Amino acid sequence: MSLTAEPLGVLFVAVAIGFVVLLFLLPRYGPHYTSKLLCPSCRKSFNFHWIPGASIASLVQRNYRVLKCPYCHKKATFDIAATRVRTAKPAKKKEKT
Ligand SMILES: [Zn+2]
């Protein structure tokens, strides 16, 4: 009976679909963050958009990214988690009177 192999095939398709969602759909439509980074060379701040766990590099490097400063174009390592600013929700101003 070769029919016993069918559940494995379904599982493979499910994993493949999950893989596609993780690789292509989440980076575009999923949550992403903005980090306010400060260049150690020229002391200028710039925003960096990133997606948590979207790329293999982010899984290996975790919270650190080697980026080129848009102003002086020097490479530096930034801790993007510590400087993270949430962009998914607009900042709500709590005004209690
Ligand atoms: Zn710079």
| Model pTM score | 0.51
> What is the mean pLDDT of each successive set of 10 residues along the chain, which is 97 residues long?
72 90 69 87 91 62 83 92 68 59
Cα-flanking dihedrals φ and ψ of residue 39, to 5°?
-70, 130
Span from the CA of 63 to the centroid of ligand 1 (angstroms): 20
Span from the CA of 28 to the centroid of ligand 1 (angstroms): 28
Span from the CA of 47 to the centroid of ligand 1 (angstroms): 12
Span from the CA of 87 to the centroid of ligand 1 (angstroms): 23
Q: Running DSSP on this structure, what letter comes out for residue 22?
A: I
pLDDT of residue 87: 57
Span from the CA of 48 to the centroid of ligand 1 (angstroms): 13
Span from the CA of 37 to the centroid of ligand 1 (angstroms): 10
Q: Running DSSP on this structure, what letter comes out for residue 88?
A: S
pLDDT of residue 82: 79
Sign of the four-CA dihedral 37, 39, 42, 43: positive
Integer angstrom CA distances of residue 5 from 13, 14, 16: 13, 15, 17
pLDDT of residue 8: 87
Span from the CA of 52 to the centroid of ligand 1 (angstroms): 24
